Structure 1
């Protein structure tokens, strides 16, 4: 051993300054105590948020909230973290929605698991970028392994499939539609849209979705230059799932009009009803017409882990691509999503080279670059680490148990609502969404009655429910994603809804 070699600690002390002066806010070993104090002080505020919140919302009105924020002079810096956190507490934390409480039954915001929060600390501090190996190293292969793991849950051959983490379901759906359009154009017309732009035929491309599918399909079609006219909405059946007989008719109708079917988007878990389109039937039709099948499983991906309810996704393994939102159904902090393709060779359509990132001469087997699979992100957070923490500490089975619990709760809740003469429920749910309304025989305007109830709940902050419109009528909506919520909690929420409903005449 060479005794002239200095230790890594001595080397660090030799080349790194102990006092960074005006650079004391830089994340650096010389400022580690500053970092620790800042994190610990902020964690104290998080603990306070947990301990003092007894209802999901403060009830503050938007006008007051806006005035609070506008009073802040951003050009005047604060002196201490105590001052900063007191300010942020006043204008944010005290009024932040508490998704973890059982009284929050509104939107697709899941409570989050602690291992993922631990992972978030590393994600933010180390700040890796997932676009190239030299910026992420192990993160590249960890993300790839999680993509393979997810593909296996879908039922894909992991040797043939691939994918990438994304910012959310809308972005993943955009990738699905871009792949659908470009692969179809390449195979049918030998036309490369990436290089040559839209072909003359593209104005007649048609994509079929259910009329309860996510709005991102319309926005994405517009972004892609196909226009919203390219999205053909197929009516749904009595459970608000794509009607297969009408899908066949709509495809034939578009062909007769001279238009060109290029793909179908199936929804595995609709936002308003939590139901899954008949995936096997849709796969049959996609194969019959030799067109792309994309499954938007942003919400329903949780079923992939469940032995009890996994059969609801039968047929998803036949899709060409799938959207996954871990931050909806895997109890992950925002953002944590993925786009998965059955045939990894199709992803070459998205590949672009930049000499400073992924030059053509780079051997991707030796030095992989995730940017080759991304459509709109180069710099990209290592969000996969949060899921890694979760799986390694909790395992697939515990996540599945959480999912089964909320689906079982939803079934019990549907029974409670159906059996109560004060309520009218529209449909049961494959997942955990229930659309219903409070009714009174002496009130003709049921829409106004339920809107009144929703706003009373919102501004009291005691309970947060969502709402939607079906055939022009206003409905209340439960989205149940919290495994801690009990039937007793639901009973109390329904009792409170009825209380406000009975007050409608005197307070409206």
Structure 2
């Protein structure tokens, strides 16, 4: 066991190192990690009440508390899932069945004879899990309609409205609008009040993917970014991103808890018999697409007890401040070019190669050089270049609240040194 632990430590990225800034993968809080060990030791499964009654009640209370933070009322509900992709999948399952229920019972009859072709509208920068969910649900990736974004990388409500108006109601069935609160590349937040108004006018369900942006719920300063989130029918929140939880700790919340009933099916006699439920001994099987499900709410509850929501909010604010510093430092550096500044904690930029034609090669190679030498871990994405075509860009995703501005400066200096080394002929 000791040898395995040492080998894993030697071959694993230290997310607590301020030079690890590539992904939406924060260092875990110690209190959360300790509680996660307890969950593993107790090994309760929250699908049934008798497997872990305390764990079941903890999840229920956690869900109600976070529903309140979103702005949902007493009729709301939710469930913990394995991640944002799983939460988005279940949200679109709810939306699919709700849309189809106007003409047929998809759960029983399947998609055969669905009638009209389904449509799901989302920003062109929405997470890939939206298209993947449509494929899994039988809607097809072709059901996705990408809505253009504005200069701040946010969905354009006018373009959404126009797309919905173009959908012939005799041929197409709008299933859902998916807004993004924290895009993976930019951290941008779609204008939720305006998007909600468009969805409401057209009678289409609204899902908000706030897997990244959910941490703003805990911050007085950043909470205005999520104005309008309470208008969503369902919301995805990833607490293993901007609440510093060990994975997995995602939430799917619904403004109306009854949304969960049609998609999870009936009761199962050996797990949740009717008379047990009537007596108050119900587990959480009826809310989830999973059966066996560990007590992930335990670590989240431990974190909130130790730090409070204000403490989590202060951590995101610290990361936001670091990102704003990085934005200014990139903009001021002669060898770096800023692509997108900080909305949450992400900054996108590019190393300015001496030969513009070699920029993609140099930016890709310098990132690999930093990784290979153990110097730093920075992100990579594609964004439109000067000619409008996709180009290789670098990305800092700053989720270490203990990092300092000097750490960010050192990270950017390392990027520049690596870029120069690649240009001087070193292999990438």
Normalising by structure 1, report the TM-score. 0.80
> Which has the greater radius of gyration?
1
Equivalence for 1:370: 284
Q: 1: distance between equivalents of 2:301 and 2:148?
A: 39
Change (3 A) 1:297 1:381: same
Equivalence for 1:168: 83
Q: Which runs of 4+ in 1 moved over 6 A?
A: none
Equivalence for 2:253: 340
How far 1:365 sits from its partner (Å)?
Answer: 6.4
Deviations 1:92-141 (A, max 9, x none): 22111111110101001111111111211210101000101011111111
How far 1:88 sits from its partner (Å)?
Answer: 4.4
**After alignment, is 347-356 or 333-342 more displaced?**
347-356
How far 1:239 sits from its partner (Å)?
Answer: 1.4
Q: 2: distance between equivalents of 1:480 and 1:398?
A: 17
State yes or no: 1:324 paired with 2:237. Answer: yes
Equivalence for 2:60: 144
Alignment match of 1:227 (pick from 140, 143, 147): 140
Equivalence for 1:483: 401
Equivalence for 1:453: 366
State yes or no: 1:418 paired with 2:337. Answer: no
How far 1:442 sits from its partner (Å)?
Answer: 4.0
Deviations 1:205-226 (A, max 9, x none): 1010111111111111111011
Equivalent residues of 1:301, 1:329 under 8 A apart: yes
Mapping 1:126-137, distance limit 5 Å: 126-137=42-53
Q: 1: distance between equivalents of 2:206 and 2:278?
A: 28
Equivalent residues of 2:33, 2:299 under 8 A apart: yes
State yes or no: 1:289 paired with 2:205. Answer: no
Mapping 1:62-211, distance limit 5 Å: 84-90=1-7, 92-157=8-73, 159-186=74-101, 188-189=102-103, 191-198=104-111, 200-201=113-114, 204-211=117-124
How far 1:202 sits from its partner (Å)?
Answer: 5.6
Equivalence for 1:380: 293
Equivalent residues of 1:111, 1:482 under 8 A apart: yes
Equivalent residues of 2:99, 2:173 under 8 A apart: no
How far 1:443 sits from its partner (Å)?
Answer: 4.6
**After alignment, is 487-496 or 244-253 more displaced?**
244-253
Equivalent residues of 2:341, 2:347 under 8 A apart: yes
Equivalent residues of 2:14, 2:20 under 8 A apart: yes
Equivalent residues of 1:351, 1:373 under 8 A apart: no
Equivalence for 1:53: none
Alignment match of 1:495 (pick from 393, 398, 413): 413
Q: 2: distance between equivalents of 1:307 and 1:479?
A: 21
State yes or no: 1:506 paired with 2:425. Answer: yes
Q: Which runs of 5+ in 2 are unaligned?
A: 385-389
Equivalence for 2:312: 399
How far 1:360 sits from its partner (Å)?
Answer: 3.7
How far 1:254 sits from its partner (Å)?
Answer: 2.5
Change (3 A) 1:197 1:499: same
Change (3 A) 1:109 1:249: same
Equivalent residues of 1:173, 1:216 under 8 A apart: yes
How far 1:352 sits from its partner (Å)?
Answer: 2.4
Equivalent residues of 2:77, 2:255 under 8 A apart: yes
Equivalent residues of 1:275, 1:430 under 8 A apart: yes
What is the DSSP-based 3-state SS (H/G/I as helix, E as strand, rest coil) of the residue aligned with 1:425? strand
Deviations 1:385-430 (A, max 9, x none): 0011111111111111101111111111111111222111112232
Equivalent residues of 1:358, 1:369 under 8 A apart: yes
Q: 2: distance between equivalents of 1:441 and 1:294?
A: 44
Give the superposed CA RMSD: 1.5
Q: 2: distance between equivalents of 1:94 and 1:397?
A: 35
State yes or no: 1:428 paired with 2:334. Answer: no
How far 1:364 sits from its partner (Å)?
Answer: 4.8
Q: 2: distance between equivalents of 1:139 and 1:168?
A: 19
Equivalent residues of 2:116, 2:170 under 8 A apart: no
Q: 2: distance between equivalents of 1:463 and 1:423?
A: 17
